[in-house]
Structure 1
Amino acid sequence: MARMRKNEGRGPLYRLYISRLRRRMPATVPHHVAMMIDGNRRWARQLGFDSAAHGHRAGAAKMHEFLRWCDDLGIEVVSLYLLSNDNLVKRDSRELQDLLEIIAELAAELSHEPNWRVKHVGRADGLPTELAEVLHEATERTRGHDGLHVNLAVGYGGRSEIVDAVRSIIAKHDQSGGSLEELAASLTPEQIGEHLYTGGQADPDLVIRTSGEQRLSDFLLWQSAHSEFYFVEALGPDLREVDFLRAIRDFAARDRRFGQ
């Protein structure tokens, strides 16, 4: 089944359909899209590969392609969920090592895209030194760029992010000599938001997840409070541009209430 999906999208009818979808795209697109790439291991298994690394590498290539789709459509911020804190302790050691190398390669590639800005979101201290350095270099190399902003969630956990934000607020308040009572009285959601890894960025308008799974998996828990969600049946490496454009079209047709 995965092989059939992989071969879709190469014929003239598909290209014609994609062209028509592009022409009919809504004038307003999401400002910030978050992507949960899932199903890489299943993709590799279905195609008979003896290693999940084949799936992770195909998934990384697809995410690079996905970012180009977003850039072409005028989306300004994209957050990619590449490696969770749980992955760091629960994945098979051989698979994890392959995945860390693939993520490092992807980060380096993205940092050389013209005008794209790459930012690592997550805990660097829990990552291997080599990967942490690559992510830091990608962030620094692209810091002044004003094109597509790409958040790479690596060594990331939504709960950990909130804990780190609160710790940062407490430390800053303590340095100013304030009391705990004053902090408790003044603490606001906006203040916590400013101290998240994505501080200063708009929250995601749309969260997309591949492989048919319908859960957040500790991704952007705080930021996605009012996000729209779209779940794609395709496994990560099989994601097509038509799937992406349908997600954008579906998003545009929704009535966003923001808790009202």
Structure 2
Amino acid sequence: MTFAIPGFDYRRVAVDGDVALNVAVGGTGRPIVLLHGFPQTHAMWRHVAADLAADHTVIVPDLRGYGASDKPEVVDRDTYSKRTMAADIVALAGKLGHERFALAGHDRGALVAIRAGLDHPGKISHLASLDVLPTLDMWDVLHGSTAAVAFHLYLMAQPPGLPEQMIGASADAFFGYFLDLWTRDPQAIPADARAEYLRASREAVTSIVADYRASADIDIEHDRADRTAGNRLVMPVTVVQQDWGAALGFDAAALWRTWADDLEHRTTSAGHFMAEEAPEEIIKMLRSLLER
């Protein structure tokens, strides 16, 4: 690992059998866990984590299959399900002495956070989601030519073999495409951070694809079961998104209201990587959430 959050301690924590997560821990006070997205590592939270650590215990792991965390071989449909990854995070917090904690996720990490909130409502005090929809809704709103913006979802949903081969053959070009396309301020991801994200993703092609494949399969089943049962997020929830719902022809806030009882939905002028492009905005949002 060559790109670390200054002032944070690093350790490996076993969470599920032989699976251990790489985690940075800093600060003292009420705990909050920050989960990264694709194609990044925990380091995307460096600005936000440093600020929150002034008065919170801040826990910033690499998700299973990403960064310096373990990348187990797929043994069944659950290996990279968001349910399994959420259980990792609850176990991680418990190992660090926190039975209840706030949770914020970006992109893939937000899907893990949502699943943690649904599966472990007594563990999650507050929940923040940055720039995703819940899995079931995400697939429902993609249709026609507008679905082209999510071509990578369809590529990585294919059976094992071809997606890994295609992405592995041009890993830097593939992952770098999203870092460039989704960033409105290119300076927000400096060269050393970009190099770290590309290196980490290049070394995790198989597990990243497995994570996405699960979201086209078992994750949908889990979301649909919760919707059928009427399960909802019962903790205070804040959602921050680009205004891509309007661009794609749906009401993102309305979709979120079907999942959350206590919801604040915001849009931002920042790009997808908002924790790096607009850290002050995200810090203010999280601090406001934590006071609810």
TM-score w.r.t. length of structure 2: 0.32
Higher relative contact order (CA 8 A, sep 6+): 1
Q: Which has the higher strand share?
A: 2
Q: Which has the higher helix share?
A: 1
Kindly name which structure, 1 or 2, has the bigger radius of gyration based on alpha carbons. 1
